[in-house]
Structure formats: structure tokens, C-alpha cells
Amino acid sequence: MGRKNILIVEDEKELSEIISEMLTGCGYSAVCAENAEKAYKLLSRQTFHLILLDINLPDATGFEICKQLREASKVPVIFASARTSEDDRINSFDIGGDDFLQKPYSMKELLSRINALMRRAYGGDEEQLMCFGDIKVNAAERTVTRAGQPVKLSQREFDLLCYLCRNMNTAIPKETLISEVWGAFSEVEPSTLTVHIRWLREKLEDDPAEPKYIKTIWRLGYMLSST
């Protein structure tokens, strides 16, 4: 079963450890950052499926992180804070937050909010199996088959294919693919994306030079076509 990655940006070490332990026990993969600097470094190196973001941090505010994040990524964000004024709550949604949880909160409520947001963002079990042509992509098991035969993909190739599948028949800019697959603040060059697209075509297309499914959209990016 593929685990979804959650970034916990929280300066209260004990609380972040409790949350991390709870999420890990519930099938998620959790990484903690005690300040904005560490959060940015993590976001530049890997992708996350959800971010739990405190507002008050030692070196920045959660609002500032969310604003910068929204310039590069649509990853779901849950604000968690002891700040409960109406202005703070409204601002958290205006800048791109998806939910707001008031401290103190129970682990049961936090897990419920996370599960609900994950379902809205990534779909339920019925959306974990995606197909085009004779290719089947199982997002939950992180497996790919072509004409019934397993296809071996690297982790990054699989993540890229999954993102294309979830946005099938939609042209996606190169910048979006890089931020959503490599990390919101990744410094990966477009040439790296080009190489991974070529590798996917070599493994999934009958004729990689004339791709039927993974199409180049001139001066924009790529699109996975279902036909």
C-alpha cells in the first residue's frame, strides 16, 4: 500500500512527535519541521500530499509559507493554531488554506480532517485504479501493468505517471509537473522532466518517437491522453 506523505510544520516538538506517531500508526508517512527554514528545505527535496501548518513559527508565519506555496503547488493545507480570531481564520482560507483547526484539538478530530481532505484531493479507493489503453495504474499498490504484464518504474516515474493520470486529457505546464512531482520549491531543471517523460514513453508507448498517450503540448508541457 502506498503511503501518503504529510509534512507537519510545528514548533512544539512534543506535539509534532505525537502527531507524527499517530499518523504513522494510521498508515501515513509523516515528516516534521520545527520552523519555516526546514519546511522550505523539505519542500524543495520531496513531495507531500498534505501539509499541517502552524501559524506562529520562530522565523516566519504559516501565512507566509502558504502564500509562497500556492505560487507553486496545490497541495492541501490544514492550518492548526491557537490563534482563533475571525480575521485569522478568513485570511487562512483567502491565501489558499483548505481547512482550519483550532488548538487544542484531539488527535481523533485531526485524523478525521486529514482523511476527509485526502479523499477530496486524491479520491477514494474507487479512484486508485486508473486505466488508458492496455495500461493499468494502481495508485494504492503503486503498480503498473501493460497488457497484463508488470512494468517496472522508478519512484519518480511512478509519481509523474500518477499525476498525469489524475489529470488525464488535461494539458499540464512543465512548471506544474516539476513542483507537484519533485517538490514545491524544487530547483529541478526542465531537462530532468524531459528525461523522465522519455523514460515513461519508452516503457509505455508502442512507438516512443510517436507517442499515442503521453503527448507534448507545444510551448506548455505534457498531457496524458486516454485515447
Average per-residue pLDDT for the chain:
91
Across the range 39-44, mean pLDDT stands at 94
- pLDDT for 124: 62
Q: C-alpha distances in angstroms, 146 versus 117, 130, 132, 137, 169?
A: 31, 12, 10, 9, 19
In the predicted structure, residue 1 carries a pLDDT above the cut 90: no
pLDDT in tens, 60-90: 999 999 999 998 888 999 999 888 788 999 9
Q: Please name each of the domains of the chain with its CATH number.
A: 5-122 (3.40.50.2300), 126-224 (1.10.10.10)
Instruction: Give this prediction's pTM.
Output: 0.78
